[in-house]
């Protein structure tokens, strides 16, 4: 046997340079400037005088094989077979011959792919993995996204928002989707229902007890079998016990609702990254079009579009005007569910006596 240490096999994403458009590869790190000749198109000029136009189109997010083939055929026809997807599932086509720009845009529009998302727009909505790849979702996050994108297509194409609007959805309260200007997240409203016959065999009980953020779970015996029990007065219905212990079922067709959160961002441009805050709770998880959620999101977008200053992100706008004014402008009701009554929340409550105007 060799004395050489056993090294891990690296199996992450492959080197992206091999798939990059040749003009991008040649000019990597050598761009002189770029401009936006029209919504949905970026024009880059390199220090060597090379030019490239990038056309950004929306995808339906979940791609079937026929749609993928159509997307690739368009890239073969206009872009030497090169295309790329952004983090949010936009498709980017690149052309080096300006005369190909309009035919490419026409082909995409005729095939039903809207062009936009490059400037101050509602860009493609991101969603968590949902039923495709995760075992704990309470809703079909990608379905909420598709129905919302259909409703907000004009805001993708027109790019008339004060700043970029990043909308995210998450299909459980663990929220692996991160922070968003507007976030649509599952909200469980009842503690888990425990199947005591299965807990002993399926769950590692100490890990489940340790998982609860409010110490509401304790070991128990039911019908002579080891199991777990929940102090329902303490439980905040977060759902964190369900992934390590599926017999603690928390997803419920009636009591798993959707909530809308506002003002999160990851960027640290102009202001610090922000957590989003709850603004609408208890909306029905109403597949396949989620109309109640769409209505709330449109109310928020319309108030933001009319009232925010140029280049103000959603959270910065709310910070400036205050939450009271936010609820007045959006017409959303302020209810008891907006008050964080968890005893650990005293650190995050606004304890300042300052008044903001
Ligand atoms: S949000 Fe929750 S359920 Fe959805 S993919 Fe992420 S961890 Fe899974
Ligand atoms: S749902 Fe959350 S708070 Fe309730 S018992 Fe499970 S882990 Fe604890």
Here the CATH number for the domain that contains residue 34 is: 3.30.70.3340
Backbone angles phi, psi at 226, to 5 degrees: -70, 135
Domain presence at residue 344 = no
Closest CA to 197 of 161, 226, 236, 167: 226
Same domain, 166 and 286: yes
Radius of gyration of the chain (CA): 24
Same domain, 265 and 291: yes
pLDDT bucket at 176, cuts 50 / 70 / 90: confident
Residue 33 lies in a domain: yes
175 phi and psi angles, rounded to 5 deg: 55, 65
pLDDT at 235 over 90: yes
Residue 350 scores a pLDDT above 70: no
pLDDT at 99 over 90: yes
Q: Give dist(CA 95, CA 24) in Å, integer.
A: 11
For residues 164 and 78, give the distance between their C-alpha atoms in angstroms, rounded to a whole number: 29
- Tell me whether residue 64 is in a domain: yes
Whether residue 84 lies inside any domain: the answer is: yes
Average pLDDT along the chain: 91
Residues with CB under 6 A from ligand 1: 128-130, 134, 136-137, 141, 170-172, 174-177
Residue 151 lies in a domain: yes
Asked whether residue 197 falls in the same domain as residue 184, the answer is no
Residues 150 and 208 in one domain: no
Q: Where are the alpha helices (DSSP H) in the chain?
A: 22-26, 65-78, 101-110, 141-151, 153-158, 196-202, 205-211, 291-307, 314-321, 323-330
pLDDT (tens digit per residue) in 121-143: 999 998 888 887 888 888 888 88
Nearest CA to ligand 2 atom 7: 212
Region 280-300 average pLDDT: 94
Same domain, 160 and 279: yes
Q: How confident is the model at residue 158 (pLDDT cuts 50, 70, 90)?
A: very high
State the residue for tokens 């079998």.
225
Q: Count the domains in the chain.
A: 3
Model confidence pTM above 0.85: yes
Ligand 2 binding pocket mutation candidate from 173, 239, 252, 342 (most atoms within 8 A of CB): 239
Question: Which residue range(s) make up the domain with 216?
Answer: 193-248
Domain end among 50, 83, 110:
110
Residues framing ligand 2 (Cβ under 6 A): 191-192, 211-212, 214, 216-217, 230, 235-241, 250
**What's the pLDDT tens digit per position in 20-55?**
999 999 999 999 999 999 999 999 999 999 999 999
Mean pLDDT of 264-291: 90
Quick one: 22 and 147 in the same domain?
Answer: no
Is 78 found in the same domain as 105?
yes
Expressed in angstroms and rounded, the spacing between residue 205 Cα and the centre of ligand 2 is 13
Is 146 part of any domain?
Answer: yes
């Amino acid at each position: 046997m060799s004395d050489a240490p056993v090294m891990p096999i690296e199996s992450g994403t492959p080197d992206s340079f091999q798939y990059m458009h040749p003009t991008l590869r040649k000019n990597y790190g050598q761009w002189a400037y770029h401009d936006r000749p029209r919504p949905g198109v970026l024009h880059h000029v390199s220090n060597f005088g090379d030019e490239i136009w990038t056309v950004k189109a929306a995808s339906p997010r979940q791609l079937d094989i026929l749609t993928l083939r159509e997307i690739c055929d368009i890239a073969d026809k206009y872009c030497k077979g090169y295309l790329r997807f952004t983090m949010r599932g936009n498709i980017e086509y690149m052309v080096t011959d300006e005369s190909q720009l309009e035919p490419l845009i026409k082909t995409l529009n005729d095939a039903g792919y809207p062009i936009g998302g490059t400037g101050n727009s509602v860009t493609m909505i991101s969603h968590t993995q949902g039923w495709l790849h995760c075992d704990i979702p309470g809703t079909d996050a990608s379905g909420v996204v598709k129905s919302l994108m259909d409703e907000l297509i004009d805001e993708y194409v027109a790019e008339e928002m004060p700043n970029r609007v990043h909308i995210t959805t998450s299909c459980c309260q663990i929220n692996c989707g991160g922070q968003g200007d507007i976030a649509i997240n599952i909200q469980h409203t009842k503690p888990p229902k425990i199947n005591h016959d299965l807990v002993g065999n399926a769950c590692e009980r100490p890990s489940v007890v340790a998982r609860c953020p409010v110490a509401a779970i304790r070991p128990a015996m039911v019908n002579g079998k080891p199991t777990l029990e929940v102090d329902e007065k303490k439980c905040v219905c977060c759902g964190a016990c369900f992934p390590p212990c599926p017999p603690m079922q928390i997803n419920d067709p009636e009591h798993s609702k959707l909530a809308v959160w506002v003002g999160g961002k990851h960027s640290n441009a102009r202001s610090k990254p922000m957590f989003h805050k709850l603004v609408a709770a208890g909306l029905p998880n109403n597949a396949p079009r989620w109309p109640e959620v769409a209505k709330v999101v449109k109310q928020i977008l319309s108030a933001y579009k009319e009232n925010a200053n140029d280049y103000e992100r959603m959270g910065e706008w709310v910070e400036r005007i205050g939450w009271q004014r936010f609820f007045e402008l959006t017409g959303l009701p302020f209810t008891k569910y907006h008050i964080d009554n968890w005893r650990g929340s005293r650190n995050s409550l606004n304890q300042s006596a300052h008044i903001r105007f």
